[in-house]
Structure 1
Amino acid sequence: MSRYDVAIVGAGIAGASLAAALAPHRSVLLLEAEDRPGYHSTGRSAAFWTESYGGPGIQPLTSASFEALSEGGFLKPRGALHLAEAADGGSVDRFVGQFAGSGVRLTRLDRADLERRVPGIRPGWSEGVWEPDCHDIDVAALHASYLRQARAAAAALQCRAALLEAKWSRGRWWIETPAGSFEAALLINAAGAWADEVALRSSVRPCEIRPYRRSIAQLRIIPDAPADLPLVLGLDGSFYFKPEPGGRLWLSPHDETLAPPGDAAPEEMDIARAIQRLGTVVDWRVAAVEHRWAGLRSFAPDRLPVIGFAPDAPAFFWFAGQGGFGIQTAPAAAALAAGLILPGPDAELPPGVDPRLYAPNRFHRHGGAQNER
């Protein structure tokens, strides 16, 4: 039986980033259920770094991640445009107001500005908010970089090793997987959509983290999508789209459909709804749907990440519930988790991030996560 200081369940962006942070200080094992890391949510993300995405509770983690993502060469400037229809001007006020004093740069635009930024925009869209600090993220490169860093620091990666059971005994976790048995002093739950399942298999109280399906389609449109088109999001939450090389367009209905953990697949109705909604925003013609896919975004009841030691189990650490913002917050979230795990001079929390916002004990203070809804 192999022994480690730390066993991390899940080798997606969450597990890989935390392994990279911990491996220089502790012996680390990454347990991945699939044949390769990043098969599920990480490998299916249309990720972008946008400070407003996820709301004010996520923004500190996003802002604190910018320097590492930028210096690593993982960002490409894009800009984001948040659109509202004429009858929904109040949504613009609410959106801008919730980030007042945060440092997030948001500028209101009029109709003429919208026409300059989105050619072919239909008349009903008269208000918008420009967020200049939006960047595309090279997700594959970021994930691979974290895995390389972890491997260079002697972390071990074991694929096809879903956690079957973990038991705490004699001051250690005894872990059973299809790939063998392992011991670890600390067990970290970075299992994404499977986070609650991993907790139950470890006899730890779950945090009611639920996976939701998000669908995306790659379209060939006429005319081609402008290369300088920003990320365009509906403030009503009904769509977003962004350009891709070759004049293609990535389009999502911004759907959130409760789904079981697994290999998510898009529903035809969701893609059709997205295309119908696109037709109400711009006068472009959809020539073909070239590709479609879906991923799972996992949320705790209050839609904030769950980062910290379980209040009901020794040496069990939650690193889950990162929704659709787990990639844009990866550097700061991993730094926060590592700062909580590593004692003394090895501990360093990211600036401007309050760990109490994400602590697992917020769900157990009044008898369960249900009370936090």
Structure 2
Amino acid sequence: MSDIVIIGGGIAGLSAGARLAPHASVTLLEAEAALGYHASGRSAAMFEAQYGLPTTIQLNLASAAFHHGENGGYTSPRGILFAARVHERATFEAENAAMKMAEISPAEAIALVPILNPDTVAFAAYHQAAYDLDTDRMLQDFARTIRGHGGTIHLNAPVTAIEKPGRWQITAGNAVHQADVVVDAAGAWADQVARMAGIAPLSLVPCRRSMARIPAPGGHDVARWPMFFGTGERWYAKPDAGQLLVSPAEEDPVEPTDAWADDMVLAEGLARYEEMVTAPVTRITANWAGLRTFSPDRALVLGAAPQDPSFFWSAGQGGYGFQTAPAASQLVADLILGRPPALDPQLAAALSPARFA
């Protein structure tokens, strides 16, 4: 049985650990005091199979059965709606085609989201097959699987050194962990982990995305509203615990950090949202930001480093970490365990870090 150390306690690391734990001795190291603290804990928590690059969509589709059925299922109905202004017809049509949305009338859109502004919403589209994801339960279930197979999870364990005198030696806190395989699932910090290990970084780019929570607009019951977007993803809004989350949907490159919302960016995004609705934003009950980390071609990076086949990447999720986790983690586990991948070999090759070599 191999010893595997996974660096990162977000959805990428936990899902990979859960796949590997029945077959190997797994140790997961998380720098923070809680699992899923950074990007995973600040996710929009949606599953829309047609959202993302073609490779991401293939991972989404391969993950659907898990999301809907594993452990009783992690999904609940939500739906998504696009709202476009009169001069945005071309972009609106392109996005509808890419995501297989069905165009509906502005009146039908307003029936779904009563605060949409009939003076600014010229076109709309809707897709019912989009779902809320119970991301917290998914994280906890993956962690439970790791522990249930004898794996260990260490919190408050930032990695400070990685060496390979023979086997990997990973220093985290006051402990040194030995491993045959290292899995780099460190999110925005994945390049930093690679450098410590003497592995060429991928030029990953963490991008901030801000979020505001506002009271239910106009006193409406928002529970059954779909998630709704401006064309070009200039903003989006999503019901959440009786209130509404509104994001400017920005992707501003930043250094790896505990991200905070930028007040000006948030204000500009809320203004774009307000242009499309009849209920102004009068109060924000909370705000935060998370990091979406992208590879140079914006596709996930899953597989062994060309420089060392015992160093595995699970990085570049770019905001699609939960959607893709079941299939992405299965691919990582298959490759580490030397099994034929369950996914199409062409997809596995397209996601391999070898493409950047």
TM class by shorter-chain length? Answer: over 0.9
One-letter amino acid of the structure 1 residue matched with residue 5 of structure 2: A
Is 2:251 aligned against 1:256? Answer: yes
Which residue does the alignment assign to 2:92? Answer: 92
Is 2:140 aligned against 1:147? Answer: no
**Separation in 2 of the partners of 1:127 and 1:301?**
33
Which residue does the alignment assign to 1:349? Answer: 342
CA contact (8 A) 1:4 1:27 kept: yes
Deviations 1:155-208 (A, max 9, x none): 1111222221212222x1111222311110001100000000000111100011
CA contact (8 A) 1:33 1:160 kept: yes
Is 2:8 aligned against 1:10? Answer: yes
**Separation in 2 of the partners of 1:137 and 1:343?**
31
Which residue does the alignment assign to 2:59? Answer: 61
Which SS does the other structure have where 2:159 is aligned? coil
**Separation in 1 of the partners of 2:98 and 2:137?**
33
Which residue does the alignment assign to 2:262? Answer: 267
Is 2:227 aligned against 1:234? Answer: no
Alignment of 1:331-346 (within 5 A): 331-344=326-339
Structure 2 residue aligned with 1:194, among 177, 189, 195? 189
Identity percentage of aligned residues: 35
CA contact (8 A) 2:49 2:64 kept: no
Which residue does the alignment assign to 1:369? Answer: none
One-letter amino acid of the structure 2 residue matched with residue 188 of structure 1: V
Structure 1 residue aligned with 2:278, among 265, 279, 283? 283
Deviations 1:61-104 (A, max 9, x none): 111111111113211100001222211111133223345xxxxx
Structure 2 residue aligned with 1:244, among 240, 260, 272? 240
Which SS does the other structure have where 2:52 is aligned? coil
TM-score, reference length from structure 2 = 0.94
Deviation of 1:115 after TM superposition, in Å, equals 2.2
CA contact (8 A) 1:56 1:98 kept: no
CA contact (8 A) 2:53 2:299 kept: no
**Separation in 2 of the partners of 1:120 and 1:187?**
50
**Separation in 1 of the partners of 2:162 and 2:5?**
11
Cα–Cα, structure 1 residues 279 and 225, in superposed 2: closer, same or farther, change >3 Å? farther
Deviation of 1:286 after TM superposition, in Å, equals 2.1
Which residue does the alignment assign to 1:371? Answer: none
Which residue does the alignment assign to 2:18? Answer: 20
More helix by share: 2
- Tell me the number of residue pairs that the alignment of Structure 1 and Structure 2 aligns: 353
**Separation in 1 of the partners of 2:244 and 2:355?**
40
One-letter amino acid of the structure 2 residue matched with residue 289 of structure 1: I
CA contact (8 A) 1:306 1:360 kept: yes
Range that drifts further, 148-157 or 35-44: 35-44
One-letter amino acid of the structure 2 residue matched with residue 83 of structure 1: A
CA contact (8 A) 1:82 1:235 kept: yes
One-letter amino acid of the structure 2 residue matched with residue 315 of structure 1: S
Which residue does the alignment assign to 1:176? Answer: 171
Which residue does the alignment assign to 2:300? Answer: 305
Q: Which runs of 5+ in 1 are unaligned?
A: 100-104, 365-373
Deviations 1:315-337 (A, max 9, x none): 11000010111011111111111
Deviation of 1:131 after TM superposition, in Å, equals 1.6
One-letter amino acid of the structure 2 residue matched with residue 288 of structure 1: R
Deviation of 1:352 after TM superposition, in Å, equals 9.2
Which residue does the alignment assign to 1:368? Answer: none
Moved over 4 A (4+): none
Deviation of 1:57 after TM superposition, in Å, equals 2.8
Is 2:116 aligned against 1:121? Answer: yes
CA contact (8 A) 2:304 2:311 kept: yes
Which residue does the alignment assign to 2:82? Answer: 82
One-letter amino acid of the structure 1 residue matched with residue 253 of structure 2: L
TM-score, reference length from structure 1 = 0.90
Deviation of 1:53 after TM superposition, in Å, equals 2.1
